[in-house]
A and B are shown apart, each in its own frame.
Chain A
């Protein structure tokens, strides 16, 4: 971590601290207070967006560990979310397993399957790995859609209202604290993982897998760990998504959703823990804003409705391309430049 001028780490505890200076503590506490206060001042729709963003960030953190840190590109992220969602939903709805426990079981099931489908990753990489993970997506979704007796097949199934003890989580405001806790826990784990020996091993594999192996890093072990952790996060996020939306439908976990998660971490900054927190809200909010804009424009110019409504996808795509041309390393890098320039201003170096 970069420290302000004049601040030094004088102990191991200071060196390993996530929040080190008073300013950072103030900002962290301020951010937490703002996050905790959302239900008090946001509308129902605003809370809906916040909850959706929280779930997507959790999933994106997992994908960031797998893709950004370990360098293993996966297109099957949505399918692993589906595994988590269906596992948790079925355990909770049909077997009466408590909500929190069923969510963790969903994560474990997704993580386990991630290891299974991660075995091909030991021998292939790049484009071939992309195809392999795409195949994993199709296999998983096929099983979900055709194991009708267990999953409800293509029709999906409704889930009962989520309960934690005597509390029923039926509103957006009620669900939010649960999602926030999961997100904070996931974020802390990811932060510590990437600073640990395992995290450094993943980065080494990403940067140069042959050199990493020569240095004694077990590629097979750490790649499988990356798949397990990334898919565990996906399973947890998928389980939360299923319970939050109240229904399990295969269409919620299509291939395009998995690709969008890749876009989220790409825009946010791959290989940066801050990336998902920047990329997901930006992309989701821009999509919502664009949709409202084209709908309002279509109301005003109804004769152009057939032109205006499809323009949403066009504008969204163009914005992504322009952004990537402007900052291919993502929003996290742009934030990093801002921080450095703020520290140095008005000096140039």
Chain B
């Protein structure tokens, strides 16, 4: 007799004395499974019971009399995971932008806008899965707020002809070898260009004010991933163009210390450090700089995070702002919608970035729907309308102008650098700094992947 046969007989004999059959133990387990199933069904049915089903991606009955119907914008972002502290502040801003379009612009093409979030957990496999889920639902457009969706999704979106707005990944903005179309559009400036503007900002603005002779030495402090490598490349190109010395360093996101990188920068005499990091890495950097008595002038991606601001580390640092038009009509609109839910609170850099992030999607959809109608809306139609945008102000001065061509999908085309003056968030603003001009090999995907 095999071992498991004996086990089974013992198993069934160990039912309580008096049990005439083993059905009682089976019944108990059956009831347990049934109870769990009913609980699961109840939780699943909860949305239906509350009478508020999620909005479909195709038009249905109008949400309000002035709208022709409803349109859902899928937004995929890192609501959990290591990048979530940077992304969670974006959540209300996407909804605020949609509310602005609904309240004051008549919706998108006359349709009420509804934003639907998907959590990709900072996992590329989940990004792919969510993309396929969204496309399978019939959507011809989606917004992705993750650092590498352009690379992950480019072949898929070009094959499926689905327009995606993506975070700032340089190689996704251009055509690759053999490509004639690119359905991915950048919603924010690519990191390579953002940090290249810091070089211009330092060389033309900050360094001359110091009164020192010679040239500034620029240092890079970047994550060792595609975003960081591209930022590094953009800075190096600009330093080479200006004849400046550049000292690059890289680190693994989530590292507990950055001693070796800081010592390398310090020993090279770096005056100005720039690069892309998560907020947690920036905090570690500042702590290690304090410990090693190194005080460079930093121009970072997340230097003005709320945590850093309150801890005092953000004071004296520069951070780029895509939405730098603090005195514009667009800023007033953004503040109005922000104050509806957080009155009196400062608008974080990420909230401001989120408010302008989805603008191209709103504009492209609006123009395409007005041109071809919602029933004939395709990704190609949206792409065609977006590629007609030439140095156009889409945000009432809140951010720099947008410019999408068939070969270059970067936008907005400039940023502002601002310095935090105190822990309360008072900023000293610089002027708009436009991107460096890129031609030839520099507007190909392969160049930025090397």
| Residues of A near any B CB (own CB < 8 A) | 2, 43-46, 48, 52, 145, 148, 152-159, 161, 170, 172, 245-247, 249, 251-252, 254, 256-257, 288-289, 291, 293-300, 302, 305-306, 309-310, 312-313, 336-337, 340-341, 344-349
Given the complex, which residues of B lie within 8 Å of A158, measured CB to CB?
Answer: 151, 154-155, 176
A251 cross-chain contacts in B, Cβ below 8 A: 123-124, 148
Interchain residue pairs with CB less than 8 A apart (8): A48-B136, A161-B159, A245-B152, A246-B159, A288-B129, A296-B47, A309-B119, A345-B21
CB contact between A302 and one of B44, B55, B95 (< 8 Å): that residue: B95
In the complex, A262 Cα to B54 Cα: how many Å? 35
Contact residues in A for B118 (Cβ distance below 8 Å): 291, 295
Query: Is the pair B47, A340 in contact by a Cβ cutoff of 8 Å?
Result: no
Given contacts A52-B129, A299-B54, A349-B13, contact A157 B46 (CB under 8 A): no
Residue of A nearest to B44 (CB): A293
Q: Are B136 and A155 in contact (CB under 8 A)?
A: no
Residues of A within 8 A of B200 (CB): none
Q: Is the CB of B91 within 8 A of A247?
A: no
Residue pair B21, A247 in contact (C-beta under 8 Å): no
With an 8 A cutoff between CB atoms, is B205 at the interface?
Answer: no
Which residues of B are in contact with A by a Cβ distance under 8 Å? 4-5, 8-9, 11-13, 15, 19-23, 26, 43-44, 46-47, 50, 52, 54-55, 79-80, 84, 88, 91, 95, 116-119, 121, 123-125, 128-129, 132-133, 135-137, 148, 151-152, 154-156, 159, 171, 176, 224-226, 229-230, 448-450
- A155-B13 contact in complex given A48-B133, A252-B124, C-beta closer than 8 Å: no
The answer to whether B152 touches A306, judged by C-beta atoms less than 8 angstroms apart, is no
Q: A300-B52, A346-B23 are in contact. Are A295 and B226 (CB under 8 A)?
A: no
- CB of B79 within 8 A of CB of A310, answer yes
**Complex CA–CA separation, A52 to B226 (angstroms):** 25
Knowing A155-B229, A251-B123, A299-B54 touch, does A348 contact B13 (C-beta < 8 A)?
yes
Residues of B contacting A337 with CB < 8 Å?
8, 11
- Nearest Cβ distance between residue B251 and chain A, in whole angstroms? 13
Partner of B116, one of A44, A159, A295, A312: A295
* Contact yes or no, B23 A305, CB < 8 A: no
- Most B C-beta atoms less than 10 A away, residue of A43, A293, A306, A341: A341
Q: CA–CA, A184 to B137, complex, Å? A: 30
A247 CB contact (under 8 Å) in B15, B121, B155: B155
Residues in B whose Cβ lies below 8 Å from that of A305: 79, 91, 117
The answer to whether B156 touches A246 (Cβ under 8 A) is yes
Q: Assuming the A-B contacts A48-B132, A348-B12, A348-B13, are A295 and B88 also in contact, with contact meaning beta carbons closer than 8 angstroms in the complex?
A: no
| Beta-carbon contact of A252 and B125 below 8 Å | yes
A299 and B55 contact, CB distance less than 8 A: yes
Are B124 and A300 in touch, CB under 8 angstroms?
Answer: no
Q: How far is the CA of A254 from the CA of B124 in the complex (A)?
A: 10
What is the distance, in angstroms, from B161's C-beta to the closest C-beta of chain A?
Answer: 12
Q: Are the C-beta atoms of B229 and A300 separated by less than 8 Å? A: no
Neighbour of A345 across the interface among B23, B133, B171, B448, CB < 8 A: B23
